[in-house]
Amino acid sequence: MEFSYKTTTERDTERLAAAFAQVLQPGDALALTGDLGAGKTAFVRYLARALGVPENQAVTSPTFTLQNIYHHGRLKLVHVDLYRLAGLEELEALGAEDWRAPDCVLLVEWAEKGLEILGPDCLRVEIEIGRDEERIFQLRATGPRSEELLRLLPQQL
Protein backbone atom coordinates (compact mmCIF):
# COMPACT_ATOMS: atom_id res chain seq x y z
CA MET A 1 0.00 0.00 0.00
CA GLU A 2 1.37 3.43 -0.97
CA PHE A 3 0.47 7.09 -0.66
CA SER A 4 2.15 10.14 -2.20
CA TYR A 5 2.00 13.71 -0.92
CA LYS A 6 3.58 16.75 -2.55
CA THR A 7 4.64 19.82 -0.61
CA THR A 8 5.65 23.16 -2.11
CA THR A 9 6.14 25.14 1.11
CA GLU A 10 7.39 24.57 4.63
CA ARG A 11 3.78 25.04 5.76
CA ASP A 12 2.74 22.06 3.60
CA THR A 13 5.39 19.90 5.27
CA GLU A 14 4.23 21.12 8.66
CA ARG A 15 0.64 20.16 7.72
CA LEU A 16 1.77 16.63 6.76
CA ALA A 17 3.65 16.26 10.05
CA ALA A 18 0.55 17.43 11.96
CA ALA A 19 -1.50 14.77 10.18
CA PHE A 20 1.03 12.14 11.27
CA ALA A 21 0.80 13.44 14.84
CA GLN A 22 -2.92 12.66 14.83
CA VAL A 23 -2.50 8.99 13.86
CA LEU A 24 0.81 7.80 15.35
CA GLN A 25 0.74 5.53 18.38
CA PRO A 26 3.40 4.07 20.68
CA GLY A 27 5.27 1.29 18.88
CA ASP A 28 5.05 2.89 15.43
CA ALA A 29 8.22 3.28 13.36
CA LEU A 30 9.02 5.57 10.43
CA ALA A 31 11.93 4.84 8.09
CA LEU A 32 13.00 8.19 6.65
CA THR A 33 15.07 8.22 3.47
CA GLY A 34 16.12 10.85 0.96
CA ASP A 35 19.11 12.81 -0.25
CA LEU A 36 20.97 15.32 1.90
CA GLY A 37 18.80 18.40 2.24
CA ALA A 38 15.58 16.58 1.34
CA GLY A 39 13.94 17.58 4.62
CA LYS A 40 14.11 14.53 6.87
CA THR A 41 15.11 16.48 9.97
CA ALA A 42 12.69 19.31 9.19
CA PHE A 43 9.87 16.75 8.99
CA VAL A 44 10.91 15.29 12.36
CA ARG A 45 11.01 18.81 13.86
CA TYR A 46 7.50 19.60 12.62
CA LEU A 47 6.25 16.23 13.88
CA ALA A 48 7.79 16.79 17.31
CA ARG A 49 6.17 20.22 17.55
CA ALA A 50 2.79 18.83 16.43
CA LEU A 51 3.06 16.23 19.20
CA GLY A 52 3.69 18.92 21.80
CA VAL A 53 7.47 19.03 22.16
CA PRO A 54 7.97 22.63 23.35
CA GLU A 55 9.65 25.30 21.21
CA ASN A 56 12.39 25.75 23.81
CA GLN A 57 13.56 22.15 23.27
CA ALA A 58 15.80 21.93 20.22
CA VAL A 59 14.86 19.25 17.69
CA THR A 60 18.01 18.59 15.70
CA SER A 61 19.55 15.80 13.68
CA PRO A 62 21.38 13.30 15.88
CA THR A 63 24.10 12.77 13.25
CA PHE A 64 26.87 12.70 15.85
CA THR A 65 24.96 11.61 18.94
CA LEU A 66 23.11 8.91 16.91
CA GLN A 67 19.89 9.37 18.87
CA ASN A 68 17.80 12.08 20.46
CA ILE A 69 14.87 11.31 22.71
CA TYR A 70 11.97 13.71 23.19
CA HIS A 71 9.75 13.03 26.23
CA HIS A 72 7.69 16.19 26.45
CA GLY A 73 5.00 15.58 23.87
CA ARG A 74 1.94 13.37 23.47
CA LEU A 75 4.27 10.51 22.52
CA LYS A 76 7.84 9.72 23.42
CA LEU A 77 9.97 10.09 20.26
CA VAL A 78 13.25 8.30 19.60
CA HIS A 79 14.98 10.06 16.70
CA VAL A 80 17.91 8.14 15.20
CA ASP A 81 20.30 9.13 12.41
CA LEU A 82 22.29 6.34 10.72
CA TYR A 83 24.17 8.57 8.26
CA ARG A 84 27.62 7.93 9.76
CA LEU A 85 27.21 4.19 10.33
CA ALA A 86 28.85 1.67 8.05
CA GLY A 87 26.60 -1.31 8.61
CA LEU A 88 24.57 -3.71 10.71
CA GLU A 89 27.53 -4.70 12.90
CA GLU A 90 27.83 -1.14 14.20
CA LEU A 91 24.10 -1.02 14.90
CA GLU A 92 24.24 -4.21 16.92
CA ALA A 93 27.23 -2.92 18.92
CA LEU A 94 25.27 0.22 19.78
CA GLY A 95 22.31 -1.75 21.17
CA ALA A 96 20.00 -0.64 18.38
CA GLU A 97 17.45 -3.32 19.26
CA ASP A 98 16.49 -1.15 22.25
CA TRP A 99 15.45 1.71 19.96
CA ARG A 100 12.25 -0.12 18.99
CA ALA A 101 10.54 0.19 22.35
CA PRO A 102 6.78 -0.36 22.62
CA ASP A 103 6.29 2.92 24.52
CA CYS A 104 7.68 5.25 21.86
CA VAL A 105 7.62 6.21 18.20
CA LEU A 106 10.87 5.46 16.38
CA LEU A 107 11.98 7.86 13.63
CA VAL A 108 15.08 6.73 11.71
CA GLU A 109 16.89 8.99 9.24
CA TRP A 110 19.02 7.25 6.59
CA ALA A 111 17.01 4.14 7.45
CA GLU A 112 18.26 2.29 4.38
CA LYS A 113 21.47 1.69 6.38
CA GLY A 114 19.63 -0.32 9.02
CA LEU A 115 16.12 -1.37 8.07
CA GLU A 116 16.59 -4.41 10.29
CA ILE A 117 16.15 -2.31 13.45
CA LEU A 118 12.75 -1.09 12.28
CA GLY A 119 11.20 -4.53 12.31
CA PRO A 120 8.83 -6.07 9.77
CA ASP A 121 6.16 -3.36 10.07
CA CYS A 122 7.29 0.21 9.55
CA LEU A 123 6.16 3.07 7.40
CA ARG A 124 8.78 3.97 4.81
CA VAL A 125 8.87 7.69 4.11
CA GLU A 126 11.02 8.58 1.11
CA ILE A 127 11.44 12.31 0.54
CA GLU A 128 12.36 13.33 -2.99
CA ILE A 129 13.51 16.81 -3.94
CA GLY A 130 11.44 18.28 -6.76
CA ARG A 131 11.57 21.66 -8.50
CA ASP A 132 12.24 24.79 -6.43
CA GLU A 133 11.06 24.05 -2.86
CA GLU A 134 8.90 21.08 -3.86
CA ARG A 135 9.18 17.81 -1.92
CA ILE A 136 7.46 14.56 -2.77
CA PHE A 137 6.76 12.26 0.17
CA GLN A 138 6.40 8.66 -1.01
CA LEU A 139 4.88 6.60 1.82
CA ARG A 140 4.98 2.79 1.71
CA ALA A 141 3.51 0.37 4.21
CA THR A 142 5.36 -2.84 5.09
CA GLY A 143 2.78 -4.47 7.36
CA PRO A 144 -0.68 -4.21 8.90
CA ARG A 145 -0.02 -1.31 11.30
CA SER A 146 1.71 0.83 8.66
CA GLU A 147 -1.15 0.04 6.26
CA GLU A 148 -3.56 1.33 8.90
CA LEU A 149 -1.48 4.52 9.17
CA LEU A 150 -1.74 4.99 5.41
CA ARG A 151 -5.52 4.56 5.56
CA LEU A 152 -5.86 7.09 8.39
CA LEU A 153 -3.38 9.71 7.24
CA PRO A 154 -5.27 11.17 4.24
CA GLN A 155 -8.30 11.76 6.48
CA GLN A 156 -6.18 14.17 8.55
CA LEU A 157 -4.93 16.24 5.58
CA 107 – CA 32 distance, rounded (Å): 7
Show the domain range for 134. Answer: 2-156
Cα angle, residue 10 at apex, residues 8 and 15 outer, rounded to 5°: 95
Domain count, the chain: 1
pLDDT tens per residue, range 115-134: 777 888 999 999 999 998 89
State the CATH number of the domain containing residue 33. Answer: 3.40.50.300
pLDDT score for 96: 57
> Residue 86 above 90 pLDDT?
no
Q: What is the pTM of this model?
A: 0.90
Between helices 40-50 and 10-23, what is the axis angle to 10°? 50
